[in-house]
Amino acid sequence: MFQRIVALSSAIEGVVTPSRIQGVTPDRVAVRRWVLAHAEVFGILGILVIAGVAHGVNMLHFPYFETDEGTYMSQAWSFVTEGQLAPYTYWYDHAPLGWIQIALWAILTGGFYTFGSAVESGRVLMLVIQLTSTFLVYRIARNVTDSILAAAIASLTFSLCAYGIYYHRRVLLDNLATVWMLASLSLLLEKRLKLGRVWLSGVALGISILSKELTVFVMPCFAYLAFFRSHRAQRWFATAGWVLIVGSIVSGYFLMALLKGELFPTGTWLGGTNPHVSLLGTLLFQADRGRDAGLLSLQSGFWITARQWASVEPFLVVGGSACAILTLLAFRRNRAIALVGASTLALWAFLARGGIVIGFYLVPLLPMLALCDGIVIATVIRWGTAWLDSHGTRGLAVRAVVSTVVLATSVALLLPGYDNQQLGFHSDHLVLWNNVQADAQQQSLNWVLGHLPRSSRIIIDDYMWTDLHDPANGSPGYPYAHWHWKVDLDPAIRNGVFRGNWRNIDYVITTPQMISDVKTGHLTLVGKAIAHSTVIAHFDTGGWPIDVRKVTKSAS
Amino acid sequence: MALTTFVFVVLSLILFGQSLFSIYLMVYSWEQPERLAASSGPQSFLPPRLSFSVLLPARHEEKVIFETIRSVVESDYPKSLLEVVVICHEDDAATIYEARRAMRDLGATNVHLETFACGPISKPHGLNVGFQRTSGDVITIFDAEDDIDSSIFNVVNTVMQEEEVGIVQAGVQLMNFRDHWFGIHNVLEYYFWFKSRLHYYAGVGVVPLAGNTVFVRADLLNRVGGWDDYCLTEDADIGIRLSALGEPIRVVYDSQHVTREETPESVGALIRQRTRWHQGFLQVLRKKTWRELPTVGQRLLAFFTLSQPLFQALLTLLWPLSIAAGLWLKLPMSLTMASFLPLYALAFQFLITMVGAFSFTGEYRERVPLLLPITMLVTFLPYQWILGLSSVRAVYRELRRETDWEKTTHVGAHRRVGEMVTPAGTLSPVSQSVDRSR
């Protein structure tokens, strides 16, 4: 449809600007023609600007810096400065490629403090990732349906949904895994598939899996996509190579553990007898976490969280999932579309496996749901307006209007997300751009750097770990500032640094998350320290209060 | 210690890079479907117009020369445009006898026998002698054990006219992959070489030609002055010299029209053959004619290709050391992981070889032995070791200037039973001992 608009405009031009009109310089005509021919490029740029503004404005102030963000930044810092995978004992909770990429970003941008504190520098990377992901979503939808409407719906709903902006701003491994997964998919959907592209797609998916493991679930769908999209003569080279590449990259994680002697758990035949962390041990531990019936029981953690998601983002969660199922019907007609839907359902299958489902787990699914929405809606509109083809210019105009209305409606359907009580949207719908709750964390960090002696024994939330251990201005750090989880659960810290006694703790810098973790995680040492402390400084700039507490070590 | 670490890591990275390039060449033709289509020959033929002179150098080939002459004479091309020159050394009585018998029994007027007595007893010298005797537009070479396709002259006639090229390298394919343990790897080497790798070389403009099924216009041969009498791989040498002329070289691989050959009959024979090839490459490298190639990229590719034997010899000798280093050197994790990269590349190369095996058997409609994947897996590394050993041997021989020609014997194993049956009633002492190992 789009090419016909361009051709039509050129034809109209030819009619309304006859050569006898003076003053119409040929340059203006040429420019106009060039702009129209490249209108799609401008459209994409427009979408990226919208996405960039929605994500980027106020991104360093809201949402608050979560513990995990600090953890990943500290691990990236440790990789760069100490050559280790984590400042504390790396226990294979996640494959390390995610924070290795953050480390590379830090090296590329000249350190961890180029954009402010460590987490803030990480958040700038998240902006770059978000723009890339939005572009890839556009491209995927465009290639698989040949429809600009599909691409526009998919990319705009992906970039403007409230839940998405909230979590995309955060330094999460899911964001890294998502962008690489989208890159892998995009490469497989190129118009002309070359062998090198297919294998590059394998590399991208391998990186994605090692950034966050859950994307391994799309492997069968993507492998099949590689198989039937490649030309018959190159099919087996392409697919076998793709599978081996993904497998090789993932095997690197296991190889590393093997070389460190940390693949098999202590006590097993190959694991040795001295206590050590192990990859397989952690895998088993995580598989057991929050074990319940998953998909099969409506009271499971999965369904509770899923219902929550559905109520705040109905267009994407309910609509997208329904569209994913609908795409399967297109299996015979357009297999690529069906495989996009199948990949979406594969990721849902992971969430529904019957294990723990945390609030931000929807992040890798968001672009896939947006894609399914865009693809199905655009296809339906195309069928519905096919009869307009024979109505010339008027039909074209009607079609354009209908597409615009549909696009606007799709974006409007994201509004319920801006009422999300859990994420803080209920009281202020524009909280994403108004609230500056993370400032309190910045202020508390500066206060600590200015007031507390460097040798203090402090329990901190991990968001300030890097900034305290390696301050931005080059001054000596706080070698005894430790993350609350490690204080209680890592023997090297609990016994080595604090000798199991709360009296050895000087300060505790609490966040609502720490207080909640103390209760749910039964962190007794930290809990005692908090109970015996008084607040000496308080910061609250938007609903995430930070207390700097001094531990009173009286005999009681 | 730091030096050992550095050398070890650098070696690993070089190995890895080289493996990647090799993989790229192996799948070059399959990269895009258009390339695959372009690698094969024409579907329909133009009427015969070019005249061909076939040079058939032979030494101690009495078992196979008769059939070869017959297949050329009986090929699908007008006799008036085809002539055959069989070249033998004067003292090779058995082969001369068989050649004369062929000329007599087949009643072929376009077959001549050339003998020479002076000069080195080598294939290039024989070719030069024979070349003087030819009168055709296009000179071609076939080896005495070759199984020639009857339409090959039509193919080349069409290609040369349609695409206006003066040099065509048509496909050569080993066929008997079941006869020896190394057979499948040897066969696949040829498959990948003629179907894919050589096309990359043709694209760059540097083509190490093969020793047979190569077609060169007579005037181009005159311009480069014929073959090098003393070179062990006169084919690669003339290929470089012809490339230096700037002449486009077309490579054609069509499973219907390949020249079929046989693998060497033993591991020893294979090693001798490879030693000769590697040593020949080193000779050509030494000659420095590759320096005359027009562009830097071509010179780089030529240098890289011709120095492969050196490279391979070095790696073969250092290989056990690097394993030892990997086990005993205490490297930081990232470097240890980097040292595993060549292993991953090798695994990938094996996968490509395996897919190639199925591609080959599919293309030639050969039955796939049930245990083929397993036998390939087991024999993959030993085959690489044999190639490595040959390169070490080649470097050693070249350093000691041992340039005599270690000939490979041919028994016609690739020809099917039935084709080998000589006309009834002719009892020659030699033909009765023809090997019918197929």
Q: Is the pLDDT of residue B345 over 70?
A: yes
Q: Is B31 on the interface with A (CB under 8 A)?
A: yes
pLDDT digits (tens, 9 = 90+) for B80-103: 999 999 999 998 899 999 999 999
* Site of tokens 């070095």: B314
User: Which chain B residues touch A83 with a CB distance below 8 Å?
Assistant: 332, 334
> What is the mean predicted confidence (pLDDT) over A439-445?
93
Q: Which two tokens stand for residue B190?
A: 């040829």
- The residue among B20, B29, B30 with the most chain A CBs within 10 A of its CB, best to mutate, is B30
Confidence category of residue A11, pLDDT binned at 50, 70, 90 = low
Q: Which of B27, B334, B336 lies closest to A237 in CB terms?
A: B27
Among A residues 182-221, those touching chain B with beta carbons less than 8 Å apart? 192, 194-196
- The residue among A200, A234, A246, A249 with the most chain B CBs within 10 A of its CB, best to mutate, is A234
> How many folded domains does chain A comprise?
3
User: Which chain A residues touch B344 with a CB distance below 8 Å?
Assistant: 248
Confidence category of residue A2, pLDDT binned at 50, 70, 90 = low
- The number of residues in chain B equals 438
Q: Report chain B's mean pLDDT, rounded to a whole number.
A: 87
CA distance A202 to A187: 9
Q: Which of B32, B337, B352 lies closest to A194 in CB terms?
A: B32
- The residue among B333, B341, B343, B353 with the most chain A CBs within 10 A of its CB, best to mutate, is B333
Q: How far is CA A475 from CA A442, A454, A458, A468, in A?
A: 17, 10, 18, 10
Q: Is residue A88 part of a domain?
A: no
User: Which chain B residues touch A233 with a CB distance below 8 Å?
Assistant: 30, 33, 36
Confidence category of residue A426, pLDDT binned at 50, 70, 90 = confident
3-state SS track over B51-73: CEEEEEECCCCCCCHHHHHHHHH
> What pairs with residue B52 in β-bridges?
B82, B138
pLDDT digits (tens, 9 = 90+) for B108-146: 888 999 999 888 888 999 999 999 989 999 999 999 889
Residue A82, C-beta contacts closer than 8 angstroms, at least 6 positions apart: none
Q: A63: cis peptide before it, omega within 30°?
A: yes
Q: Is B336 on the interface with A (CB under 8 A)?
A: yes
How many Cβ atoms sit within 10 Å of the Cβ of residue B148? 25
Helices of type H across A161-218: 162-169, 173-188, 195-211
Percent above pLDDT 70 for chain B = 91
Confidence category of residue B414, pLDDT binned at 50, 70, 90 = low
Q: Is A497 on the interface with B (CB under 8 A)?
A: no
Q: Is residue A250 part of a domain?
A: yes
Q: Is residue A12 part of a domain?
A: yes
A173 exposed, middle or buried (CB, 10 Å; 0-12, 13-18, 19+)?
A: buried
Q: What interface predicted TM-score (ipTM) does this complex get? A: 0.87
Compute the half-sphere exposure of residue B147: CA atoms within 13 Å on the CB side of its CA.
20
Q: Is residue A448 part of a domain?
A: yes
> What is the mean predicted confidence (pLDDT) over A283-303?
80
Mean pLDDT lowest for which of B79-93, B247-261, B424-438?
Answer: B424-438
Q: Is residue A179 part of a domain?
A: yes
- CA-closest candidate to residue B70, choices B59, B84, B58, B80: B84
Domain interval for residue A14: 2-37
CA distance A281 to B176: 51
Q: Which of B33, B336, B340 lies closest to A234 in CB terms?
A: B33
* Site of tokens 């002459």: B69
Q: Which two tokens stand for residue A250?
A: 């993932």
> What pairs with residue A510 in β-bridges?
A547
User: Which chain B residues touch A95 with a CB distance below 8 Å?
Assistant: none
* Among candidate residues A212, A231, A265, the one where a domain is terminated: A265
User: Rounded to an integer, what is the distance from CA A361 to the centroid of its chain?
Assistant: 9
> Beta strands A458-460 and A481-483: pairing type?
parallel
pLDDT digits (tens, 9 = 90+) for A109-135: 999 999 989 999 999 999 999 999 999
pLDDT digits (tens, 9 = 90+) for B239-250: 999 999 988 999
CB B374 within 8 A of CB B136: no
How many Cβ atoms sit within 10 Å of the Cβ of residue A314? 15
* Among candidate residues A247, A265, A283, the one where a domain is terminated: A265
CA distance A184 to A186: 6
Q: Do A241 and B36 touch (CB under 8 A)?
A: no
Residue B236, C-beta contacts closer than 8 angstroms, at least 6 positions apart: B208, B209, B280, B281, B284, B306
Q: What are phi and psi of A545, to 5 degrees?
A: -75, 140
Q: Do B31 and A196 touch (CB under 8 A)?
A: yes
Q: Is the pLDDT of residue B420 over 80?
A: no
Alpha-carbon gap: A418 to the closest alpha carbon of chain B (Å): 45
Q: Report chain A's mean pLDDT, rounded to a whole number.
A: 89
Q: Is A107 on the interface with B (CB under 8 A)?
A: no
A500 vs B402 pLDDT, higher one: A500
Q: Is residue A64 part of a domain?
A: no
Radius of gyration of chain B (CA): 22
User: Which chain B residues touch A245 with a CB distance below 8 Å?
Assistant: 348
User: Which chain A residues touch B31 with a CB distance below 8 Å?
Assistant: 194-196, 234
Q: Is B377 on the interface with A (CB under 8 A)?
A: no
Q: Do A233 and B33 touch (CB under 8 A)?
A: yes
Question: What H or E segment, with its residue span, contains residue A508?
Answer: strand A507-510
* Among candidate residues A265, A287, A321, the one where a domain is terminated: A265
Percent above pLDDT 90 for chain A = 63
> What is the mean predicted confidence (pLDDT) over B192-210?
94
> What pairs with residue A459 in β-bridges?
A482, A508
Q: Is B107 on the interface with A (CB under 8 A)?
A: no
Q: Is B205 left (phi over 0), alpha (psi -120 to 50) or beta?
A: left
Spell out a b/e string for A271-283, using b for 16 or more CB atoms within 10 Å of the CB, else e. Answer: beeeebbbbbbbe
Q: Is residue A365 part of a domain?
A: no
- The residue among A237, A249, A260 with the most chain B CBs within 10 A of its CB, best to mutate, is A237
Q: Is residue A522 part of a domain?
A: yes
